[in-house]
Structure 1
Amino acid sequence: MSGDDSLRAVFARHRVRLLLAVVLLLLTMLAGVGLLGLSGGFLTAAALAGALGAGTTFNFFSPSAGIRALTFVRIVSRYFEKLVGHDATLRIARDLRVWFFRRALPLAPARLGGTRTGELLARLMSDIGEVDGLLVRAVGPLLALAGIALASIAVAAAIHWPAAVALLLLLLLIGIGVPLLAVHSGDAGEAERARHRTRLRTLAYEGLEGAADLAALDARDAWRARVDGAARQLAGDDHRRRGRLIAGNVLHSACAGLGLLAMLWLALSAFQDGRVTAPLAAALVFLTVALLEVAAGCGLAWQALQSARISAGRLQAIVEQPPSVSDPAHPRPVPASPATLSFEQVVFAWPGESRRVLDGIDLQIRPGERIAIGGDSGCGKTTLSALLLRLWDPQAGAVRWGGVDLREVAQDDWHRHVAWLPQGAPVFAGSIADNLRLGQPQADEARLWAVLEQVRLGDWARRQGGLSAWVGENGATMSAGQARRLAMARALLRDAPLMVLDEPTEGLDVDTAEALLVDMAAALGPRSLLMITHGHLPDGVVHRQYRLQRGRLLEVGGEAQG
């Protein structure tokens, strides 16, 4: 990865394509403006030659050749401008998503846990969609317009310098003044529009995810009303946005009309005084008409630039959050297995809260030992596993593996020593093999069948058609117990010396849960286990059980710590 991983660097990687697209767009505009100006002058000269009679000299071939050449250049440059511009945009769209994932994933689940999934989805789709079109919708047209303005002013100055001054003032007015006036104070509106767009996507996403619960609670109508309300808010934002754009277009048209009349007066006055010929006077007028045409989309480009800037800020607000933990500058190697995991006087409180969730925890898990920790919801059980996984660091005390503080090792190195089965571990749309190989990508088919047998899914997998059988979105073709067993098989496949299970039987009936735990204990072999659970455990599944209460561990059948 390069040293600069900013949003600006994503665009900088494509600067050659971006520059080429702008140059081609400028060439297209130059050809279009030149074509209209040259045609106007040519038609005027032809009309005058016809009116004045046969004795008048008229150069037919040079202007007509120029018109044909400009037409050809405009067609070719337009084609390649679209080709290069859209190629650059698609590449940027790809790299923006990679950049966002690369920057956001290290924040998961600790930092991203405070952001709703639907909001993240909105940032990934809507905001990146606004930013990746920055070239085609905003920056490219504005830069090309600046280039065509300079070229046109230079041509006008060569013909009649007062016309060049008038053209400069007109272009400053309609190219910068009017658009800025139209989008003035629009930042707040764009930010509000982005928030409402995010809220609508979030509600729609969560409604689809929780459709079964909404139906069971007879809450679909209330939820649909919330979605409709969010849609109306967004529609109102879009209406006001279009209103600002229309007002800008009206002002643009008024200024353009007055500017064209002024140029017509200047051209006629210069012709009447003998300072320019009739064809050149006509060329000034047609040049102005052509510039007004290419500048018509200026307001839309400025609005797109404003929207992209707001969206870029929203993306950066996510990825620039400080990580919950950082790797040391010189990490130590993780001690080889088998090793003892120990919590030593661990204290932890969530950021912004004064209450200590963990208050002086001492715990040792020796190699091959299986420990279960229970307690009421919110007592800190999952927090304990988060510290073990080093998603957060304790404010006091230490978590050690083989005597080495986890803060002294690299997170990636430590995570290779842990197999984690979170609460609600997903089953992904794909084959049985696809789901299993998330735990061990290099596992061969023999190893996959072996782990399926360990969790008693071998016969089921054969009935489905083998390892290539499709399991469906969220395990749609499986029962809840089968889905948990498949997730368990994926964790076992990692073959890590330490396994961490967070509520592994959540949502299962008692018989299914007990069977799963018994099979899991048999499959662990010499591995250590830390299980977070509030359910009943069959005999022999763990060696010791604790209850977490008021930040302290109480061994079931023993005395409280401290």
Structure 2
Amino acid sequence: MLIRLLRAHLAPYRWPIVVLLVLQLVSTIASLFLPSLNGRIIDEGVAIGQTRPILELGAIMLGVSLLQVAVTIVATYLASRTAASVGRDVRGSIFDRVASFSAQEVGHFGAPTLISRSTNDVTQVQTVLFMGLTLMVGVPIMMIGGIVMALREDVGLSWLIAVAVPLLALVVGLIIRQMVPQFTLMQKSIDWVNRVLREQITGIRVVRAFVREDHERARFAEANTQYTGTALAVGKLMAFVFPIVMLIFNASTIAVLWFGAYRVDAGQMQIGSLTAFMAYLMFVLMSVMMATFMSTMIPRAAVSAGRIVEVLDTTSTVVETDEPVAIPEGPVAVEFRDVQFHYPGAEVPVLRGVTFTARPGETTAIIGSTGAGKSTLLSLIPRLYDVTGGAVLIGGVDVRDSRLDGVWRRIGLVPQKPYLFTGSVADNLRYGDGEATEEQLWEALRIAQGHDFVRAMPEGLDSAVAQGGGNVSGGQRQRLAIARALVRRPDIYLFDDSFSALDLTTDRRLRAALEPETAQATVIVVAQRISTILGADQIVVLEDGVVVGVGTHDELLLDCTTYQEIVSSQAVAEVA
């Protein structure tokens, strides 16, 4: 998965990578000559007491070192820039894919894991890519070149390399093998922590209202302890790596000095060659150590890459058609034709055989008990979900046969839970129309009965709105969401229980102001209160996902038992 992910995103950076690899090659080859030159200084200068070889060879070493430093700086810069760019591209790909998801895919993954996959998981891949670009050429060349150069200095000590390198690789490999399942648990633990934390922050009012702080602390402590335990397990394994590496390093140095001293004493080896051989052995072991360091990171990055690819490979159940049909311009009707809908994994459908037509210039209301499928029915029009049976048509065109933006462009949606974005009031209203003038914004606010409270804000339209609209009341959020839809001037208005937080007086004034503005549009209203829909041209009554009545208020009072029960229950509630 890691290789597949990187291959897909490295193509635009092939030339920086080629330059980077060439620079690493030059730097590594240059470094391989330094121990040999140092050995010659000892043998040709120090041993016989001559200054000239020391100065000449020392100047060459200095030049090689400066070249290596310059090349390494440029190579590291290119590696960090490339890794950061790939991380940016991967995050962008995840964002684009998630933005294309229907509500079904978002619900399948969940917001916490999508957030951690686009942040923590991408960081893991970006880090291992940087380390790989920095070491991918240097490590193998230094390892192979170090062995070759060491054999040039003395073949008699080569058995030390044959023992130390495989021993180091074997021990580290066994430890890495134990880390892989722990890294998988660690990423899942991060998701758990994010999910619990997000729920606590989002639902802080509920937590405090029901005095559940201790319960929530216990939930977070459980998730945090799980993550901490997994991280400690990985840390304990990693703690073994470097002591073992240093033990083999030091043992190898002692062995070289011990056995090399016998060879020098026997005249089979010079002191400079012994010094160079020891340096080359350190090069080889250092390469193994760096490869080991990479090996500790690759398993976690591989797990993260798998989680990222899982998102990128998930296609939306709401897809564009290859041969789109344009929805006619102007006022259009919305028709539900024998609509059925199953949520994934549900045993029974939420909606069954729903058939009715909402016409331009009319208001169609949908009412029913909680769980009857009202909001689900409304979400099928903008294709937040696709029907699993039957068809939804706009202007006589099946929404699945039209372009998505062609459907969305015709609709102004006010969701059941109105969401406002961080920014100003104007920024939120211009989600409906980015080119809307201030006059148009104020007009939409006037119709939505939000004019007065926005005027009362310190900076009017430029007043700040917190994330989710946390600094305004529920009724104000609803009115701003309604104003946002009005700014768009769509052909179809969808109000999903959008008046529930308003008092009856504001509700009446708002609906009265809406009538002339939506006179040519198709208006569909999901409501709980009978008072909100009394004047609707058509009321659709849902019960357990089935249409049990269609007509005006007076008609339904005569022949729809379910509607009569709703009216009766609300009348009793008002009297009480």
Alignment TM-score, normalising by the size of structure 1 = 0.89
Contact 1:181 1:248 in 2 (8 A): no
Q: After superposing the two structures, state which structure 1 stretch, 305-314 or 89-98, moved more.
A: 89-98
Runs (5+) with no aligned partner, structure 2: 562-576
Q: Which residue of 1 aligns with 2:243?
A: 250
Return the match for 1:555 from 534, 550, 554.
550
1:35-54 matches, within 5 Å, as 35=34, 38-39=37-38, 42-43=41-42, 45-50=44-49
* Aligned counterparts of 1:369 and 1:162: Cα–Cα separation in 2: 97
Q: 1:436 aligns with which of 425, 429, 433?
A: 429
Give the secondary structure class of the aligned counterpart of 1:127: helix
Question: Is contact 1:344–1:398 with CA below 8 Å preserved after alignment?
Answer: yes
Q: Residues 367 and 526 of structure 1 are in contact (CA less than 8 Å); yes or no, is this contact kept in structure 2? A: yes
Are residues 17 and 144 of structure 1, via their aligned partners in 2, closer, same or farther at CA, if it must alter by over 3 Å? same
Task: State the partner residue of 2:135.
Answer: 141
Does the 8 A contact of 1:156 with 1:284 survive in 2?
Answer: yes
Q: Deviations over 1:27-76 (max 9, x none)?
A: 555555644554355346544224xxxxx797223320122113312332
Aligned residues between the structures? 551
Distance 1:280 1:14 in 2: 43
Q: CA RMSD in A?
A: 2.9
Identify the match of residue 461 of structure 2 among 445, 467, 476. 467
**Residue 159 of structure 1 pairs with residue 153 of structure 2:** yes
User: Residue 308 of structure 1 aligns to a residue in which SS?
Assistant: helix
Greater shift, 475-484 or 105-114, is seen at: 475-484
Give the alignment of 1:351-500 within 5 angstroms: 351-464=344-457, 465-500=459-494
Aligned to 1:303: 296
User: Matched residue of 1:49: which SS?
Assistant: coil
SS at structure 1 position matched to 2:104: coil
- Paired AA for residue 9 in structure 1: A
Report the CA distance shift for 1:242/1:525 in structure 2 as closer, same or farther (over 3 A): same
CA contact (8 A) 1:347 1:359 kept: yes
Q: Which residue of 2 aligns with 1:330?
A: 323
Once residues 507 and 319 of structure 1 are traced to their aligned partners in structure 2, the CA distance between those partners, rounded to angstroms, is: 39
Query: Which of 154, 177, 189 is matched with 2:182 structurally?
Result: 189
Shift of 1:513: 4.3
**Shift of residue 313, structure 1, vs aligned partner:** 0.8
Counterpart contact for 1:372–1:544, Cα < 8 Å: yes
Q: Compare 516-525 and 444-453 and name the one that shifted more.
A: 516-525
* Alpha-carbon distance in structure 2 between the residues aligned to 1:157 and 1:203: 59
C-alpha separation in 1, matches of 2:113 and 2:273:
58
Distance of 1:196 and 1:342 partners within structure 2: 46
Indicate the residue corresponding to 2:216 in structure 1: 223
- 1:527-542 equivalent positions in 2, closer than 5 A: 527-538=521-532, 542=536
Q: CA deviation at 1:427?
A: 1.4
Q: Which moved more, 1:307-316 or 1:20-29?
A: 20-29
The equivalent residue for 2:126 is: 132
Relative to the length of structure 2, the TM-score reads 0.87
Residues 1:508 and 1:446: Cα distance change in structure 2 (over 3 Å): closer
Deviations 1:371-419 (A, max 9, x none): 1112222221122122212233323221112222222112222111111
Is the contact made by 1:118 and 1:206 (CA closer than 8 Å) also made in structure 2?
no
Distance 1:87 1:471 in 2: 36
Aligned amino acid, residue 49 of structure 1: I
* 1:267 positional shift: 4.9
Question: When you count helix as a share of all residues, which structure comes out higher?
Answer: 2
Between 509-518 and 293-302, report the one with greater CA deviation. 509-518
In the alignment, the residues of structure 2 paired with residue 105 and residue 365 of structure 1 have an alpha-carbon distance, to the nearest angstrom, of: 29
- The whole-number CA distance in structure 1 between the counterparts of 2:24 and 2:196 is 40
* Distance in 2 (alpha carbons) for counterparts of 1:546 and 1:493: 27
Alignment of 1:53-64 (within 5 A): 59-64=53-58
Alignment of 1:315 with 2:308, yes or no, is yes
Shift of 1:305: 1.0
Distance 1:41 1:256, change over 3 A: farther
1:167-195 CA distances to partner (integer Å, 9 max, x unpaired)?
46644553x43432211142211111111
In structure 1, what is the equivalent of residue 8 of structure 2?
9
| CA distance 1:545–1:90, shift in 2 (3 Å) | same
| Selected match of 1:232 from 225, 238, 249 | 225
| Structure-2 separation of matches of 1:502 and 1:293 | 65
Is contact 1:371-1:542 (8 Å) kept? yes
**CA–CA separation in structure 2 for the residues paired with 1:521 and 1:151:** 83
| Whole-angstrom CA distance in 1 between matches of 2:249 and 2:61 | 26
Q: 1:89 aligns with which of 83, 86, 93?
A: 83
In 2: Cα distance, 1:40 partner to 1:216 partner = 77
For residue 347 of structure 1, give the secondary structure of its aligned residue in structure 2.
Answer: strand
Paired residue secondary structure (1:327) = coil
Q: Deviations over 1:276-304 (max 9, x none)?
A: 54322321112222443454343332121
State the Cα distance separating 1:502 from its structure 2 match: 1.6
